[in-house]
């Protein structure tokens, strides 16, 4: 009996252990299930086929959901899980699948300059890497602090070379450090031209091991070019108690290209006054502004002559579309960027400083296409749908121009990018596309999408150095993005004013609060819209769109290729006294825009020679430009149609001198036709000179459809 009882107990124990094991396995799989579910969450993809119907059928057969159709590129926007995406990609009818990627407005953001040397006064060099980036986890110790008061022989010295910073730039020292038991701290800035030290005390002793974040405006010191080329800054600390310590997080000079005065004269900088003088104000030309929306401020709501502006209407703004889903007509703007851009194109308010219109083409009319949100961000799918809407409604509103003051990182060759495909379709439909170069300069190969498209007019920035009437001191600011493109095309095509451009922003808009220090103060007949001095290639793009409106008002039969040709042929290059270019062609393109020459000059011809937009769109042929790169010398150079070097070369670097003149007498490389192109071959590659954005990885089998979030290209941050 005991043996039997023991056996029963063993059986019960075995059953219990088995049950516990099953529960453990069940619990394990239950816990891992969410991980699998995460992999099967929906993401947005642009799915392209030979036609929209096929794309819809494939997506739905895979279990995905089509959220919108983009017939302009034979694609749909679809919600797919990872497994559904794999099924769609495997279908032979599907050409490409992209992840819906970000796009940004191109207003100018400040950039930081790090010290070129840093020395502890106790004869020890400092690691520049440790003080280059704020909040990166790297620090440099100040060392032993022996005194309760400042002792002039104990300091850290930082030296900056700001020789390439323009005269109108704002500069501010940023010094972030952690302190413990300190008593006082100060920064001293040496102005070599006067021999003066400028001292700025820093409040410390806030709390144990607190971080002190200090920003000191140096713009008011009147630093000369020689001061900026060798700017010395000393940092002193005294202790409050024993064992005081300081760890320095970062020491930077923040440079912003936009001064506060906002006195840039748009028309003077682009030579528009003589066009207005003969009565050409751009009447009847429609400009689609693909952006954050547009608020109908009063000076945009009527013509400069206060008569009918468009098709018998007194409105200078007509109903567009809001693809963000907030306001159906697109006539609203929670960000302010789109309104500012529109006010630089079509605006009959006059600048009280000089009597010029704020808008380059004050009688043109604006069609707002809202694709960016209140933060100035959007998606590829939204921008593509906006272009499609413009094409479908071009005859209704006489849309002759699309202004794209936005940019996204380059993720592929231009012909594979879905946004570039939509842009090419608009160009082929007779709409002039004016696109921002972007604000990622001054390095080479920094042009964004769609500015990297070889067909469109890509616009870089220039600064007037606070002297609108004097072109001789104008320069290409550091932020303006630089060519060439990955395929070797020279970009930008042209440069235009892009620093401190007056633009109207509603009081409630996000940019109005972010840019309060850029406020100029003009109000539009008491309405809640003030003007701000704005910078970035967004502003440059708007200036050129206004010039194109003047061109098309005078010559309504011009094709996009003819418009581009006249703009470039009439532009003026920045040339040194010895005949050399002050800025490379990959920085200034054909030169600065000249409205009068572009409208009334005797130029007959077409740009984009050697390209075939229909073959590009059909996928039968693609093209490359004339730029090559020599890695050994870090030099970009041009070749002719036979592949021979043309004699023009540029070593990647930013240089600026005020000893040049903007001239229209410069011949491009003595007869070099910069329109030379060639059929693209995979045998040519940039190698180390170019890297795709780390944000996107391309599939070997399918060109992933990134829903690029577009951002505005003004420098507001």
Active site residues: 291, 337, 538
DSSP E strands, 305-456: 321-322, 365-370, 377-379, 399-404, 406-407, 432-436
What residue spans of 462-536 are helical by DSSP H? 510-514
Residues contacting residue 348 through CB under 8 Å, at least 6 positions apart: 299, 300, 302, 303, 304, 306, 316, 357, 359, 362, 363
How many CB atoms are located within 10 Å of the residue 175 CB?
24
How many CB atoms are located within 10 Å of the residue 301 CB?
17
Could you tell me how far CA 310 lies from the centroid of its own chain? 32
What residue spans of 518-641 are helical by DSSP H? 537-554, 560-570, 585-588, 595-600, 613-618
Distances (CA, A) of 496 to 26, 477, 585: 67, 11, 14
**DSSP single-letter state for residue 121:** T
Q: What CA–CA distance (Å, rounded) separates 244 from 144?
A: 8
Q: DSSP labels for 488-505?
A: -----SEEEE-SSEEEEE
List Cβ<8 Å contacts ≥24 apart for 600-606: 600/275, 600/554, 601/566, 601/569, 601/570, 603/565, 603/566, 603/569, 603/570, 605/562, 605/565, 605/569, 606/559, 606/561, 606/562, 606/564, 606/565
Query: SS3 breakdown of the chain: % helix, strand, coil, rounded to 5?
Result: 25, 30, 45
Residues contacting residue 215 through CB under 8 Å, at least 6 positions apart: 172, 173, 174, 254
How many CB atoms are located within 10 Å of the residue 278 CB?
10
Distances (CA, A) of 534 to 201, 468, 670: 32, 15, 38
Q: What is the dihedral of CA 320, 324, 326, 331, to 10 degrees?
A: -30
CA distance from start to end of the chain:
88
CA–CA–CA angle 127, 131, 135 (5° rounding): 140
**DSSP single-letter state for residue 709:** P
Residues contacting residue 172 through CB under 8 Å, at least 6 positions apart: 215, 216, 217, 218, 219, 253, 254, 256
- Contact between 480 and 713 under an 8 Å Cβ cutoff? The reply is no
How many CB atoms are located within 10 Å of the residue 136 CB?
12
399-404 and 432-436: which strand pairing? parallel
- Contact between 246 and 178 under an 8 Å Cβ cutoff? The reply is yes
Phi first, then psi, for residue 131 (nearest 5°) are -115, 10
Q: 52-61 vs 82-90: helix axis angle to the nearest 10?
A: 130
Q: What CA–CA distance (Å, rounded) separates 649 from 630?
A: 10
How many CB atoms are located within 10 Å of the residue 477 CB?
33
Q: Which two tokens stand for residue 257?
A: 């290209």
Sole residue written with tokens 């703007």: 333
Q: What is the dihedral of CA 72, 294, 279, 311, to 10 degrees?
A: 70
Length of the chain: 717
Residues contacting residue 180 through CB under 8 Å, at least 6 positions apart: 208, 209, 243, 244, 245, 246
156-160 and 117-120: which strand pairing? antiparallel
Distances (CA, A) of 455 to 15, 142, 484, 561, 682: 76, 55, 14, 8, 21
């Amino acid at each position: 009996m005991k043996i039997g009882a023991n056996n029963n107990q063993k059986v019960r124990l075995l059953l219990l252990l088995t049950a516990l094991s099953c529960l453990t396995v069940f619990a394990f799989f239950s816990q891992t299930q969410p991980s699998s579910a995460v992999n099967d969450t929906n993401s947005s993809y642009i799915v392209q086929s030979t036609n929209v119907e096929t794309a819809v059928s494939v997506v739905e057969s895979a279990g995905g959901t089509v959220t919108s159709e983009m017939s302009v590129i034979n694609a749909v926007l679809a919600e797919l899980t990872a497994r559904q995406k794999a099924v769609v990609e495997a279908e032979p009818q599907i050409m490409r699948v992209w992840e819906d990627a970000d796009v940004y407005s191109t207003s100018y953001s400040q950039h930081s300059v790090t010290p070129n040397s840093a020395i502890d006064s106790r004869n020890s060099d400092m690691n520049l890497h440790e003080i280059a980036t704020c909040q990166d986890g790297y620090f440099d110790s100040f060392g032993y602090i022996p005194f309760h008061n400042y002792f002039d022989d104990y300091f850290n010295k930082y030296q900056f070379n700001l020789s390439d910073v323009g005269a109108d730039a704002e500069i501010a020292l940023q010094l972030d450090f952690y302190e413990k038991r300190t008593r006082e701290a100060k920064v001293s800035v040496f102005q070599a031209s006067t021999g003066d030290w400028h001292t700025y005390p820093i409040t410390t002793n806030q709390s144990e091991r607190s971080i002190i974040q200090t920003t000191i405006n140096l713009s008011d010191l009147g630093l000369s070019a020689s001061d900026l080329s060798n700017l010395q800054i000393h940092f002193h600390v005294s202790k409050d108690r024993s064992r005081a310590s300081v760890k320095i997080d970062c020491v930077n000079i923040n440079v912003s290209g936009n001064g506060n005065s906002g006195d840039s004269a748009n028309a003077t900088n682009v030579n528009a006054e003589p066009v207005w003088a003969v009565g050409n104000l751009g009447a009847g030309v429609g400009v689609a502004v693909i952006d954050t929306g547009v608020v109908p401020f009063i000076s945009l709501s009527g013509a400069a002559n206060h008569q009918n502006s468009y098709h018998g209407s007194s409105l200078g703004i007509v109903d567009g579309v809001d693809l963000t889903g907030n306001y159906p007509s697109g006539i609203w703007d929670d960000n302010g960027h789109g309104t500012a851009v529109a006010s630089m194109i079509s605006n009959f308010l006059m600048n009280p400083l000089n009597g010029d219109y704020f808008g380059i083409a004050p009688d043109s009319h604006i069609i707002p296409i809202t694709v960016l949100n209140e933060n100035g961000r959007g998606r590829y799918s939204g921008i593509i749908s906006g272009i499609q809407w413009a094409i479908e409604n071009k005859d209704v509103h006489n849309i002759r121009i699309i202004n794209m003051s936005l940019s996204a990182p380059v993720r592929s060759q231009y012909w594979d990018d879905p946004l570039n495909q939509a842009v090419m379709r608009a160009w082929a439909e007779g709409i002039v596309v004016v696109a921002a170069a972007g604000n990622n300069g001054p390095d080479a190969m920094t042009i964004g999408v769609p500015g990297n498209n070889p067909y469109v007019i890509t616009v870089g920035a220039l600064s007037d150095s606070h002297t609108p009437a004097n072109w001789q001191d104008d320069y290409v600011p550091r932020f303006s993005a630089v060519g060439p493109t990955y395929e070797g095309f020279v970009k930008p095509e042209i440069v235009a004013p892009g620093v401190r451009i007056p633009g109207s922003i509603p009081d409630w808009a996000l940019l109005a609060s972010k840019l309060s220090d850029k406020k100029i103060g003009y109000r539009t007949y008491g309405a809640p819209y003030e003007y701000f001095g704005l910078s970035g290639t967004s502003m440059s793009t708007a200036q050129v769109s206004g010039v194109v409106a003047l061109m098309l008002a005078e010559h309504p039969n011009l094709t996009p290729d003819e418009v581009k040709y006249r703009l470039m042929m009439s532009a003026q290059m920045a040339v040194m006294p010895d005949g050399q270019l002050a800025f490379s062609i990959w920085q200034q393109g054909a030169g600065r825009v000249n409205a009068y020459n572009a409208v009334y000059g005797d130029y007959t011809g077409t740009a984009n020679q050697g390209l075939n937009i229909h073959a590009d769109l059909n996928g039968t042929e693609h093209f490359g430009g004339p730029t090559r790169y020599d890695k050994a010398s870090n030099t970009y150079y041009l070749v002719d149609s036979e592949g021979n070097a043309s004699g023009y070369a540029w070593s990647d670097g930013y240089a600026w001198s005020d000893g040049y003149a903007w001239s229209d007498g410069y011949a491009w490389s003595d007869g070099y036709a910069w329109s030379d192109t060639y059929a693209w071959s995979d045998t040519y590659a940039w190698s180390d000179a170019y890297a795709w954005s780390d944000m996107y990885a391309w599939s070997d089998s399918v060109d992933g459809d990134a829903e690029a979030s577009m951002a505005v290209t003004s420098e507001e941050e």
